[in-house]
Structure 1
Amino acid sequence: MSDPIIYVLDFDGVICESVKETAITGWNAASSIWGDMPRTVPQEKIEQFRLVRPIIETGYEAILTMRLLYLEETIEAIYNNYSEKFKVLIDDANLTVGGLKQLFGDTRDAWIKNDANDWINMNPLYDGIVAKLKALGQHCPWYIVTTKHERFVKLILHANGIELAEDQLYGLDRNMSKTEAIKELLKSHPGETLYFVEDRLPTLLNIIRNGEIPDVKLIFASWGYNRPGDKELAKQYDVTVQNLETFLAPFMA
């Protein structure tokens, strides 16, 4: 580790185990759009959402996913054609992606205002991750690149004793793709090796297939939100596969 390096980390599924909170927020937001849905999410729908979570790239999609689950769409059916199913829901209810993003953030804000501790408790960090991040910070710069609103990331990390500088966090507020954020970080760290840690395999494969940032070292976080078979597929593309135990282990010595 003598060569200069930087780490870029996804948040949900790499640092934070947020699936239950995302499911509840998605249901609450959906029930404000579609009045036939109960105000309280059934536990079985949370468990079903856990199985569908790997397809979700941005939080607002949880609203649409929970609607589909309420309508008794099967897990397989959602996986097979979720883009079209999302489009139909959006069009039929005269929704917009921008409006759904706003609603999802507003629903979280309302929960936090009502009971911030409860919301934070629904967003636990993975075991040992706090120590790992603190050790990483002693050795090299690190950043978070996420599709989550920055205020939510900061709140969760602050509750766990981790403070981020403004330039360490690239969230939904910046209106940048993860690829664009990584490119910007490479420009500000010329000559340094960038490691990108992500639990969503399609995101990593897009980087490989587009070929826009070929020098980035890609790490697949197998402990996060991914599908059966993703681990083996990642290996076929020469993506480094890590489990939570080995993640950042060299920095803990």
Structure 2
Amino acid sequence: MAGSPFLVFDFDGVLVDGMAEYWWAASAAAERLVPGLAWPEPPHPAFARLRPLIHKGWEMVLMAAELSRPDLDLEGLVAGYREAVPQALARWGWSEAQLQGVLEQVRTEAIATDPAAWLALHRFYPNVVERVRQLEAEGSSWAVLTTKGAAFAREILRGAGLEPQALYGHDQGSKPEVLRRLQADHPRLWFVEDRRPTLERVAADPELNAVRCFLVSWGYLGPRDALGLPARIHWLTPERFAAPLATWP
């Protein structure tokens, strides 16, 4: 259908709830770097509090290690997360690339040895699979833009019988960079995300003025993320998500 929107979905927190896998993979990677780390039984409730603040996969490993510290000031970490990340990297003597590499190694080994068990750590949000499949009937195509490794996201999507037109992982560039490239072929670009700071970056980019931005009401939201949204960021509830695209805000 001419003029139909091209939808770009974030993966974690929009299509899939992978909290159980995040904690499993992050804690396993951290323990691989520092054998003998100990935490309360997963899922660690403090990790769930931090998840809305985490932007990239390597940060999960770093936060898993931080949560093993008996002297950790959790409230201070939550309040000053961005400033705390480089301090934590320096404290443990790690690099971003090192953490990302170990995380991907843990996941690659899990998929190779017991793919069913690894896939079982993820669940699609209610009605997401059915709704995404309906897009083709509405004349729209869709893609996935994630900070996860593309191979891991593709494995999860295939487990549900889903095949996006394109899938962009963390190695494809930042989300605004990928959206700029997509604009060349898709003038009606809709971006669906659960992380407000990411949408604010897109909305503030003058090169992305034509991108329609949606913040989902589910996923890994902070307690104030729904308040005072900029005019360019539209609130997307499950009911609106299930409705025809023509009725979306």
| TM-score, scaled to structure 2 | 0.90
Give the letter aligned to residue 200 of structure 1. R
Q: Secondary structure at the match of 2:190?
A: strand
Give the letter aligned to residue 20 of structure 2. K
Residue in structure 1 matched with residue 185 of structure 2 by the alignment? 188
Give the letter aligned to residue 216 of structure 2. A
Residue in structure 1 matched with residue 50 of structure 2 by the alignment? 52
Q: Secondary structure at the match of 2:241?
A: coil
Aligned pair in 2 of structure 1 residues 76, 45: CA closer, same or farther (>3 Å)?
farther
Residue in structure 1 matched with residue 120 of structure 2 by the alignment? 121
Q: Secondary structure at the match of 1:232?
A: coil
On the 8 A contact 1:21/1:123 being kept in 2, the answer is yes
Give the letter aligned to residue 239 of structure 1. I
On the 8 A contact 2:203/2:213 being kept in 1, the answer is no
Structure 1: tracts of 5 or more residues without a match: none
- Residue 233 in structure 1 maps to residue 231 in structure 2: no
RMSD: 2.1
Structure 2: tracts of 5 or more residues without a match: none
Residue in structure 2 matched with residue 250 of structure 1 by the alignment? 244
Q: Distance in 1 between matches of 2:4 and 2:121?
A: 36
Aligned pair in 2 of structure 1 residues 161, 45: CA closer, same or farther (>3 Å)?
closer
Give the letter aligned to residue 48 of structure 2. R
Q: Distance in 1 between matches of 2:127 and 2:246?
A: 11
User: What's the offset of the Cα at 1:214?
Assistant: 1.0
Q: Distance in 2 between matches of 1:233 and 1:20?
A: 31
Aligned pair in 2 of structure 1 residues 74, 117: CA closer, same or farther (>3 Å)?
farther
Q: Distance in 1 between matches of 2:23 and 2:246?
A: 33
| TM-score, scaled to structure 1 | 0.89
On the 8 A contact 2:17/2:124 being kept in 1, the answer is yes
Q: Secondary structure at the match of 2:147?
A: coil
Q: Distance in 1 between matches of 2:152 and 2:105?
A: 11
Residue in structure 1 matched with residue 94 of structure 2 by the alignment? 95
Aligned residues: 245
Identity %: 28
Q: Secondary structure at the match of 1:162?
A: coil
On the 8 A contact 2:214/2:236 being kept in 1, the answer is yes
Q: Secondary structure at the match of 1:26?
A: helix
Between 202-211 and 12-21, report the one with greater CA deviation. 202-211
- Residue 154 in structure 1 maps to residue 154 in structure 2: yes
User: What's the offset of the Cα at 1:248?
Assistant: 4.4
Residue in structure 1 matched with residue 62 of structure 2 by the alignment? 64
Superposed CA deviations along residues 21-74 of structure 1, whole A, max 9, x for unmatched, are 111111111112223403xx5335522211110001111110111112121434
Q: Secondary structure at the match of 1:241?
A: strand
Q: Going by fraction, where is helix more abundant, 1 or 2?
A: 1
Aligned pair in 2 of structure 1 residues 80, 111: CA closer, same or farther (>3 Å)?
same
Residue in structure 2 matched with residue 42 of structure 1 by the alignment? 40
Superposed CA deviations along residues 177-219 of structure 1, whole A, max 9, x for unmatched, are 1001111111122xx3111000000001112233331111110
